[in-house]
Amino acid sequence: MKVPYRTGLHKVAPATYAYLQPNGSWGWSNAGLVVDGDEALLVDTLFTVALTRQMLDAVGQALPAAKIRTLVNTHGDGDHWWGNQLLPEARIISSAASAEEMRHSGPEPMLQALAAGASDPGMRGLTDLFAPFDFTDVTPTYPGETFDGELEVKVGTRAVRLIEVGPAHTEGDVLVHVPGERVLFTGDILFIGGHPVVHSGPVSRWIRACDLILGLDVDTIVPGHGPVAGKPEVTRFREYLHRVLDHAVAAHQRGRTALEAAREFDHRGFEDLDDPGRLVLNVGAVYRELNGDGTPAELELMPQMLDVTTEAR
């Protein structure tokens, strides 16, 4: 099913929908919906209460009978759960590792960083990135149910499989597989159209997650950011991760900083991807794996990331 990349709710299979938010850059995440009769399962809420309300209104209009009884948060980044408060009666599920991460990733640290960024020229770009979003009315609403490994959830009579593949993008990434419709929601295990962000790593584990996806019986793959895709895009994304890993390991051996390594990256085949500055973060994540002492810290790389994105424009 060819799905246009436009803001809103799109049918991707007879009873499965994707809610898309172009252009997929910082904070513009996708969500998903699986329906059976009057029962529905939502995959992720959005970055703000207002954006989530817009999405729920669109769901209510298209499917007036559907009641969202279950919400799955694919991981602990705010753009996938900060709208949870609008579903107070739903059963909210995440991996145990994501739930733990959420405890430390409410909007408060973000609001503080943005306030600090307003007076720090190096961080001003960060404030600009998040300017479209208002987090002031976010009340962190956490999962009431967690799991490790795999969990099967019912939506009416339909089965939905939750598969934990993190730590990779974050500590507890989960895939949401709808076997009856050959659909997969990947959360941020897949980015289409832009460079991904490696927060946690290891990248090798993220590559294994791609292998797992390629082995699933699915046709339609809804990424956490970007247009609806299929297996060819996963194969290409896997190649990207491999290239980042190989490049970063070699650059680390040569004593390059993460910034130098990002600037020396071979973009061939990936020139079309947005947000190239994220390479600084991604190389940095591999360096943290290799250093084993938590350096270089992600926050310290943020200003350099913004520089590289600006240089590329």
275-306: b (≥16 Cβ within 10 Å) or e: bbbbbbbbbbbbbbbeeeeeebebeebbbbbb
Token pair of 172, please?
Answer: 């507890």
Stretch that binds Zn ion, among 94-102, 176-184, 223-231, 286-294 (CB under 5 A): 223-231
* CA distance to 31, 46, 56, 218, 229, per residue, from 51 (Å): 11, 6, 9, 29, 23
Nearer to Zn ion by Cβ, of 26 and 287: the residue is 26
Q: How far is the CB of 43 from Zn ion (least distance, A)?
A: 12
Stretch that binds Zn ion, among 44-52, 161-169, 218-226, 294-302 (CB under 5 A): 218-226
Residues between 120 and 159 with contacts to Zn ion, criterion CB under 5 A: none
Q: How far is the CB of 288 from Zn ion (least distance, A)?
A: 20
DSSP state of 86: G
Position 79 contacts Zn ion (CB under 5 A): yes
Position 233 contacts Zn ion (CB under 5 A): no
Binding mask 180-209 for Zn ion (x = CB under 5 A): --------x---------------------
Instruction: Tell the burial category of 100 from Cβ atoms under 10 Å away from its Cβ (0-12, 13-18, 19+).
Output: middle
Stretch that binds Zn ion, among 4-12, 73-81, 248-256, 299-307 (CB under 5 A): 73-81
Nearer to Zn ion by Cβ, of 25 and 127: the residue is 25
Position 274 contacts Zn ion (CB under 5 A): no
Nearer to Zn ion by Cβ, of 79 and 164: the residue is 79
48 near 41, Cβ under 8 Å?
no
Nearer to Zn ion by Cβ, of 77 and 181: the residue is 77
Position 275 contacts Zn ion (CB under 5 A): no
* E strand residue ranges, 202-281: 220-222
Nearer to Zn ion by Cβ, of 29 and 95: the residue is 29
CA angle, 108 then 109 then 110, to 5°: 90
Q: How far is the CB of 295 from Zn ion (least distance, A)?
A: 25
Position 173 contacts Zn ion (CB under 5 A): no
Stretch that binds Zn ion, among 78-86, 92-100, 244-252, 299-307 (CB under 5 A): 78-86
Cα gap 168→240, rounded to integer Å: 14
Nearer to Zn ion by Cβ, of 73 and 304: the residue is 73
Position 94 contacts Zn ion (CB under 5 A): no
Cα gap 222→176, rounded to integer Å: 10
Q: How far is the CB of 16 from Zn ion (least distance, A)?
A: 20
Backbone phi, then psi, for 255, in 5-degree steps? Answer: 80, 20
CA 122 to chain centre: 25
Nearer to Zn ion by Cβ, of 39 and 79: the residue is 79
Nearer to Zn ion by Cβ, of 77 and 275: the residue is 77
Nearest CA among 41, 85, 16, 81 for reference residue 224? 81
Q: How far is the CB of 196 from Zn ion (least distance, A)?
A: 9
237 near 282, Cβ under 8 Å?
no
* CA distance to 47, 227, 237, 257, per residue, from 167 (Å): 21, 24, 17, 24
Position 29 contacts Zn ion (CB under 5 A): yes
Cα gap 264→294, rounded to integer Å: 23
Binding site for Zn ion (CB under 5 A): 29, 77, 79, 188, 224
